[in-house]
Amino acid sequence: MPQVKEIMRDLTAIVIGATGQTGELLVEKLLHDNAFGKIRVLARKEINNTDKNPKLESVIVNFSNLTELKKAIVHGDIIFSCIGTTMKSVKGNKQLYRSIDYDINVNCAKLGYENGVSKFVLMSAIGANAASSNFYLKLKGETEQAVASVSFESIHMMQPSMLLGKRKEHRAGESVAKVISKAISFLLVGRLQKYKPIESATVAEAMIAASKLSVKGVHRYVYADMMELVSVK
C-alpha cells in the first residue's frame, strides 16, 4: 500500500455521520489537524461545538432534498463519511435503512463530485459484498460499488470488523460480542487478521491518513492496512 503523503494545508473537510461513535472521533481529530482549515459537518440537527472551535461549521441539512444538499456540499476538498444506522434504529424497516446507508452516501458522493470535491473517504465494513445474501453486507457492498463509480481523484474505503470504543447507546448483544472478539483476537492471524476488532479512534485516524495519500483510484483498507496507515502518519 503506497504511503506517499501530499503536502496539504488549509483543506476543507465535509463530514457526514458525525454524531456516531467513529464520526465524533473523526471530527475531533480533524479539528486538531493543521492540514484542515475548516470542518463542515452536515447533519439533521445542530452539532454541539462545546469548545467553540472556529474551524467547525455545522450545517443543518435535509438529506432527502438534493437541491439543499448540493448547496451544502460546496467549497470542499474531501468528503468523509461515517454515516450509517442499525436495524434497531429503523425498527426493522429495510427501506429506511437503505435510504440512510446507501442513498445519503451515494447522493453526497455524486453531488460532491459535481461541486469539485476531489476525494471521498468512506467507512464501510469487512465482508462488504454486493452479491452477499446478508442484507447488511450486501448493502455495504452496493454502497461501495456506487461510490466507487464516481470519478473522484481518489476514493478510500475503510473495512473494519468489530468496532471498539464507547457508544452513546447501549447495545447488550454487541457488548458481549466485543468482549468475546477481544478475547480471541490473538487467534486471528493470517487470512483471519482482517476480522480483528479495532478501536473506532484508530479507524478515524486511518481515514484522515488515507485522505493525505498522493494516490489515485479506489483503495480498500482492512485491519492491517488501517494499522499501517496510523503507524506512519
Which grid coordinates are listed for 16? 457526514
Residue 185 is assigned to a structural domain of this protein: no
Q: What is the dihedral of CA 41, 104, 150, 94, to 10 degrees?
A: 150
Expressed as residue numbers, the domain containing 53 is: 11-162+199-231
Residue 157 is assigned to a structural domain of this protein: yes
Q: Round to whole Å and give the CA distance between 145 and 157.
A: 11
Q: What local confidence, expressed as pLDDT, does residue 5 receive?
A: 65
Residue 30 has pLDDT above 50, yes or no: yes
DSSP-derived secondary structure letter, 85:
-
Buried b (16+ CB within 10 A) or exposed e, 60-82: ebebeeeeebbebbeebbbbbbb
- Residue 133's CATH number: 3.40.50.720
Which grid coordinates are listed for 204? 478515524
Residue 182 is assigned to a structural domain of this protein: no
Q: Round to whole Å and give the CA distance between 41 and 3.
A: 27
Q: Round to whole Å and give the CA distance between 20 and 82.
A: 7
Q: What local confidence, expressed as pLDDT, does residue 137 receive?
A: 97
What are the counts of helices (DSSP H) followed by strands (DSSP E) for the chain?
8, 9
Residue 48 is assigned to a structural domain of this protein: yes
pLDDT digits (tens, 9 = 90+) for 186-215: 655 667 778 899 999 999 999 999 999 999
Regarding pTM above 0.85, the answer is: yes
Buried b (16+ CB within 10 A) or exposed e, 90-118: beeeeeebbbbbbbbbbbbbbbbbebebe
- Please state the domain count of the chain: 1
